[in-house]
Amino acid sequence: MESKPSESATRPPLRVVPAGEAPFADVEAVFGTRGDPAGCWCQWYKIRGAEWNAASRDELRDRLAAQLAEPGPGPGLLAYDGDTPVGWCAVEPRPALVRLRYSPVGSATPDPDFDDASVWSVSCFVVPRAFRRRGVGRQLASAAVEYARANGARILEAYAVDTDARSKPPAAELFPGTASMFADVGFTEVARPKPYRVVMQHPLHH
């Protein structure tokens, strides 16, 4: 007897757009008002410790809104199922992530020139609970590869969680994306700074 296709396999592909081209209200809908995303707004890697500690949630949200309004590529993609925003992926040139070079995971990169704008980072995924287990993250990761390539990136780098080496991590720890998800869209492991954290890269040939 043939097995029934999974729900994610039977769903049509999501529409993924640069988040700067979307209404900010749609970004807010994905980040929500509670939990880690609404307390970070993908600013953790972008501002230094003292400034981070002093910033309110509203200030962090306003920072992301301002970054999305700037010309040029980045800082993220938004996925839609029909007209409903269902996920966010942070992807942009790595120099924007000023704290990354000081983190144990980021500093393990084999490409340590953090001023090299041809190296891009995909650093965070936000998928509201109602839309998880539908392959949203995987489609965003695939779109991030094409977005980085189209904007001249040489390498796209990720800082994944290896769920095979970390037994049942809580959802809050999976914001960087999983190693299996990135492997599915062409990334390979280049460093393992922790038993369950891996640096992965996708070379982008033009």
Q: What is the CATH number of the domain that holds 195?
A: 3.40.630.30
Q: Is residue 4, in this structure, part of any structural domain at all? A: no
At residue 166, the pLDDT reads: 84
At residue 170, the pLDDT reads: 82
Q: Is residue 128, in this structure, part of any structural domain at all? A: yes
Q: Is residue 3, in this structure, part of any structural domain at all? A: no
* Domain that residue 60 falls in: 14-203
Q: Is residue 7, in this structure, part of any structural domain at all? A: no
Q: Per the structure, how many domains does the chain have?
A: 1
What are the φ/ψ torsions at residue 134 (nearest 5 degrees)? -120, 5
39-97 residue pLDDT tens: 999 999 999 889 999 999 999 999 999 999 999 898 999 999 999 999 999 999 999 99
List the structure tokens of 150: 């189209």
Q: Is residue 132, in this structure, part of any structural domain at all? A: yes
At residue 10, the pLDDT reads: 54
Range in 56-65, 68-77, 163-172, 188-197 the model is least confident about: 163-172
At residue 2, the pLDDT reads: 43
16-31 residue pLDDT tens: 999 999 999 999 999 9
Write out the DSSP string of 46-73.
Answer: TS-HHHHHH--HHHHHHHHHHHHHSSSS
115-161 residue pLDDT tens: 999 999 999 999 999 999 899 999 999 999 999 999 999 999 999 99
Work out whether the CA dihedral 164, 165, 167, 173 comes out positive or negative.
negative
At residue 206, the pLDDT reads: 61
Q: Is residue 75, in this structure, part of any structural domain at all? A: yes
CA dihedral in degrees (154, 121, 65, 89; nearest 10)?
A: 110
Please state, in angstroms and rounded to a whole number, the distance separating the CA atoms of residues 152 and 194: 30
Would the pLDDT of 11 be above 80? no
Q: Is residue 90, in this structure, part of any structural domain at all? A: yes
What is the radius of gyration, based on Cα positions, of the chain? 16
